[in-house]
Amino acid sequence: MEGLRKMVFVVGCFLMMSFMVQEASAVRYIVGSKMGWSPTVNYTVWARDIPFYKGDWLFFVYDRNQQNVLEVNKTNFELCNAEHFLQNWTTGAGRDVVPLNVTKTYYFISGKGSCYSGMKVAIHVHNPPPPPSAAPMKSAGVPHLSSSLKSRILMPSLFTIAAVWDAFIFLW
């Protein structure tokens, strides 16, 4: 029993580590960078060169009295129609966090009229890139190690983490 406990503990720690690796690779983007979510930014230009990956986050920072953050579909994005939004990400503080947890194109608009002057952004979310294959040997191999560790461990760990926690509870 003691041996099994130890093994479960080690496996649990290992899975935690792999989650932390994943955590570290996710990026939180402030929408509009320094200017935030405001009518002065061209968000097409802002988003154009950023590679958004599943697991990243958007952070909308804005004047809560002037703007809000609504997720809409493509049609309503083009029309600036805020009436049939898919999700209202507005929390009220002017500081809203959106997890990009689905591989798709997200469409956000400001629902308070500024959409018509360009306050809208389409975010194309991609799957994370595969780890570099057959990377030439380098002395500083840490980034390669962490990315391949992540891809090999992450998916199985997603499914086993619940089982491990069950085991923890059962054993203790």
Ligand X SMILES: *[C@@H]1O[C@H](CO)[C@@H](O)[C@H](O)[C@H]1NC(C)=O
Question: What SS3 state is found at 12?
Answer: helix
Nearer to ligand X, 24 or 101 (CB): 101
Nearer to ligand X, 5 or 95 (CB): 95
Nearer to ligand X, 8 or 69 (CB): 69
Of 128, 164, 143, 137, nearest to 5 by C-alpha is 164
Shortest distance in whole angstroms from residue 110 CB to ligand X: 11
Shortest distance in whole angstroms from residue 101 CB to ligand X: 4
Asked whether the beta carbons of 41 and 30 are under 8 A apart, the reply is no
Asked whether the beta carbons of 150 and 26 are under 8 A apart, the reply is no
C-beta neighbour count of 108 within 10 angstroms: 26
Shortest distance in whole angstroms from residue 145 CB to ligand X: 28
Question: What SS3 state is found at 16?
Answer: helix
* H-state helical runs in 32-172: 43-48, 74-79, 142-171
Shortest distance in whole angstroms from residue 55 CB to ligand X: 10
Nearer to ligand X, 8 or 123 (CB): 123
Nearer to ligand X, 32 or 111 (CB): 111
Binding site for ligand X (CB under 6 A): 42, 44-45, 68, 73-76, 84, 88, 90-92, 99, 101-102, 111, 118
C-alpha–C-alpha distance, residues 43 and 29, integer Å: 13
Shortest distance in whole angstroms from residue 140 CB to ligand X: 34
